[in-house]
Structure 1
Amino acid sequence: MEHSFETMQNDLIIRAAWGQQVERPPMWVMRQAGRYLPEYHQAKGNRDFFECCRDPEVASTLTLQPIERFAGLVDAAIIFSDILVIPQAMGMTVEMIDKKGPHFPDPLVTPTDGQYAELLLRDVDVSKELDYVYKAITLTRKKLQGRVPLIGFCGAPWTLFCYMVGNSKLSKECKTWIYKYPEETKGLLQKISELCVEYLAFQVKAGAQLIQVFESSGGELSPASFKQFSQPYLQYIAKHLPLKLEEMGLEPVPMIIFPKGQWYALDAACDMGYNVVGLDWLHDPAEAVKTVGNRQVVIQGNADPGVLYGSHASITEVVKAMVEGFDWANRRSGWIVNLGHGITPFVNPEDLRFFFEEVHRLTKISA
């Protein structure tokens, strides 16, 4: 064992992710460490976003902020980082533009523009290139002192590819690639998949106790295109990460897939090899439970993040609908509470606190 960490005080989400019955559904929210928190802006200061990601001390501080603010309410931390560190490790330049988001000043244009071949041929050492992420994970695990587990993550190959070709709101670039250069697209997706496996394995080695794969651009694909450009590469990660961990002498960890916008793919997602399938807010909980059926798959989600802009009565109504739809009172397993996507800017942190408190209140099992 390379690192020594304190004994877990709260392993609820790990037990739930493995499919065990639990005393209450664990919860966390995507982007829980971020700009909706005033303390985030204080800690970030004038640093660039990626500068924060590359500084293990800052990244760990930001990761811990929601754990400290919502102590006793949230059951997992997720390392403060970004899905685009893999394209950066591959040699691409990524800028975070204030109020606009990530930007690739030199995206992939065609398979013949030189950069494509360079990306395919480059030997990327993610253990070295992304060492700052692993250092942040180890430091954060130590600072957590066993309070809650730590989640590591990566972007899914298709999602990363969309960014790498400079995807616009019209999806012109990624659609051009899949319909004009399908085989070249698949070649790069395979390369990214292999790097994702390596990257996630080193996160586990550093101390991550669960991992999540974000297929955030999944909704750009039709059901037919999903089968070609998303599903095979998600399955590759689910199959090869456990093998890589075994090769490295590491224990397996629960794996979560979040296929945003791929409502048509829930049945397929349940057979990909992941322990947990995250649902966006477009799913009906009760229908999702029916789709999962008797398969040993845990559901994560799926409140509309926008409800946090609403009244407390609306939040209560949404939580109640989830509790009933996921049939928590009868099942007492198979559900991790989350939003259906990341928490959005300008949310009042106290409204998120109320969301957490309502989940506790409405899922409490009477003695």
Structure 2
Amino acid sequence: MILPPQHPLSAGLTSDSRLVRAYRGQRSDTTPVWFMRQAGRSLPEYRELRVGTRMLDACLDPALAAEITLQPIRRHGVDAGIFFSDIVVPLKLVGVDVEIEPGRGPVFGRAYGDAAAIAELTAIDPAALDEASAPITEAVQRTIAELNTTAPAGRSEGATPLIGFAGAPFTLAAYLAEGGPSKDHLAARTLMHADPGAWSALMDWTAELTGRFLRTQVVAGTSAAQLFDSWAGGLSLADYERHVAPASAKALAFVHDLSYETTDASGEALTRSVPVVHFGVGTGELLGAMRNVGADAVGVDYRVPLDVAAERVGPEVALQGNLDPALLAAPADVLDDAVRDVLRRGRSAPGHVFNLGHGVPPSTDPDALTRVVELVHEAGA
């Protein structure tokens, strides 16, 4: 499917942005930077806006979701925004009983850890998400409307790209099998081996649901898509490749057929696909396999240096990451040295998007994030 002419990529508003170029494995005037889970983790204006509003209610309020998405872009001058959402939003939209409990995370009305429960869950048609996604489409479009009229820092034209966001099939399945958060994801890993048929049905279903959720955001206007696998790091490489990777590939397939028409420097017409990023926590041993599911760029957490990650994913893959979030509270000279080290190691990859190696800690001083952005733009030139 070719994206419509008004899409930011098709219209040329973001197709040559620092972010999109980096995801394509190209360098521009400086290294782009954005932060995962940025707004809700540190900004006082976010906390003020969220008073009295539950997380999923905020995600499904288009005006609120758009404003929360825009807050860190305005404050920090980052090169991209990440759409404000949660990985369980598509589950909520198709009628699954789930809420996010403060301090705990997603909690379901029941666990889906056996064949009978999974059969009940998978009886819900994932295509129902398409009709239920109007709040998501509106929120993305509201955000894009403002981004398209605001030039990014340091650039005289273009717009700040928005990144779509969805949870990977395994992370969704891990929560569903347990009925909530788990430290070891034992229910999911047990189901994987004890009942491969039920596990396969669950993964196929979560793959289609989250893939449709990601596609909705891209069609509505995001310029890239990130699949976030919070819990894949708890798996062996063999289990990941056999029991998880096919579902992640299926989810990303919902974005891979989305493309846009543009021209190169000589004016020749080109058709390009929407860039896809795959990030996981604790996935150092899985980086090559995560690339193989169909990622243009691989996000790396803080445990693996970027030059080592570059060797694992191959020479043609862009990297994203990977400053240790703990360093945001370190003395300024220590933080600055760490930022420069990440930038140096990131030169091992054809393209590099600076980010943290996980989410922003809630106690972070927002000024530290702004300082990082300024240093990345200066030292990454």
TM-score normalized with structure 2 length: 0.87
1:128 has 2:99 as partner = no
Which residue number corresponds to residue 25 of structure 1? 31
Report deviation, 1:70. 1.2
Report deviation, 1:105. 2.9
- CA contact under 8 A between 2:278 and 2:291: conserved in structure 1? no
What residue identity is the alignment partner of 1:123?
D
Could you give the per-residue CA deviations for residues 298-345 of structure 1, whole angstroms, max 9, x where no partner exists? 0000111111122112211211211221237xx7x4111011111121
Report deviation, 1:258. 0.5
1:69 has 2:81 as partner = no
Q: Which secondary structure does the structure 1 equivalent of 2:278 belong to? A: strand
Could you give the per-residue CA deviations for residues 95-114 of structure 1, whole angstroms, max 9, x where no partner exists? 121222221231213212xx
Which residue number corresponds to residue 145 of structure 1? 148
1:56 has 2:62 as partner = yes
Report deviation, 1:123. 1.7
Q: Which secondary structure does the structure 1 equivalent of 2:146 belong to? A: helix
- Give the counterpart of 2:92 among 69, 88, 92: 88
- Aligned-partner Cα distance in 2 for 1:313–1:12: 27
1:347 has 2:364 as partner = yes
- Aligned-partner Cα distance in 2 for 1:293–1:184: 34
- Aligned-partner Cα distance in 2 for 1:4–1:240: 17
1:273 has 2:279 as partner = no
Structure 2: 5+ residue stretches without partners? 152-159, 261-270
- Aligned-partner Cα distance in 1 for 2:357–2:113: 32
- Aligned-partner Cα distance in 2 for 1:213–1:142: 24
- CA contact under 8 A between 1:312 and 1:354: conserved in structure 2? no
Could you give the per-residue CA deviations for residues 238-290 of structure 1, whole angstroms, max 9, x where no partner exists? 345323669xxx97310000122121112222333211100011111221222
Tell which deviates more after alignment, 86-95 or 155-164.
86-95
Q: Which secondary structure does the structure 1 equivalent of 2:292 belong to? A: coil
- Aligned-partner Cα distance in 2 for 1:252–1:242: 7
- CA contact under 8 A between 2:76 and 2:369: conserved in structure 1? no
Which residue number corresponds to residue 285 of structure 2? 264
- Aligned-partner Cα distance in 2 for 1:119–1:179: 20
Please show how residues 326-341 of structure 1 align to structure 2 within 5 Å. 326-327=346-347, 333-341=350-358
1:184 has 2:198 as partner = yes
Q: Which secondary structure does the structure 2 equivalent of 1:87 belong to? A: helix
- Aligned-partner Cα distance in 2 for 1:334–1:244: 22
- Give the counterpart of 2:185 among 154, 171, 179: 171
Q: Which secondary structure does the structure 1 equivalent of 2:31 belong to? A: coil
Tell which deviates more after alignment, 53-62 or 173-182.
173-182
Structure 1 pair 40–179 and aligned structure 2 pair: CA distance change class (3 A): same
- Aligned-partner Cα distance in 1 for 2:103–2:249: 34
Which residue number corresponds to residue 40 of structure 1? 46
1:234 has 2:248 as partner = yes
- CA contact under 8 A between 2:41 and 2:360: conserved in structure 1? no
Structure 1 pair 271–123 and aligned structure 2 pair: CA distance change class (3 A): closer
Structure 1 pair 259–99 and aligned structure 2 pair: CA distance change class (3 A): closer
What residue identity is the alignment partner of 2:89?
V
- Aligned-partner Cα distance in 1 for 2:184–2:294: 32
What residue identity is the alignment partner of 2:292?
D
Which residue number corresponds to residue 118 of structure 2? 116
**Percentage identity across aligned positions?**
32
- Aligned-partner Cα distance in 2 for 1:286–1:7: 32
Structure 1: 5+ residue stretches without partners? none
Q: Which secondary structure does the structure 1 equivalent of 2:40 belong to? A: coil
- Give the counterpart of 1:102 among 93, 100, 106: 106
- Aligned-partner Cα distance in 2 for 1:54–1:189: 25
Which residue number corresponds to residue 12 of structure 1? 18
Report deviation, 1:137. 0.4
- Aligned-partner Cα distance in 2 for 1:244–1:180: 37
Structure 1 pair 47–317 and aligned structure 2 pair: CA distance change class (3 A): same
Q: Which secondary structure does the structure 1 equivalent of 2:273 belong to? A: coil
- Aligned-partner Cα distance in 2 for 1:87–1:180: 25
- CA contact under 8 A between 1:300 and 1:338: conserved in structure 2? yes
TM-score normalized with structure 1 length: 0.90
Which residue number corresponds to residue 291 of structure 1? 312
- Aligned-partner Cα distance in 2 for 1:141–1:56: 12
Report deviation, 1:4. 6.4
Report deviation, 1:199. 2.0
- CA contact under 8 A between 1:85 and 1:130: conserved in structure 2? no
Which residue number corresponds to residue 308 of structure 1? 328
Q: How many pairs were matched up?
A: 353
Report deviation, 1:183. 2.1
Structure 1 pair 101–75 and aligned structure 2 pair: CA distance change class (3 A): same
- Give the counterpart of 1:162 among 174, 184, 189: 174
Could you give the per-residue CA deviations for residues 186-232 of structure 1, whole angstroms, max 9, x where no partner exists? 11101211222222222111111100000111112122211122211
What residue identity is the alignment partner of 2:306?
P
Report deviation, 1:157. 0.3
- CA contact under 8 A between 2:66 and 2:143: conserved in structure 1? yes
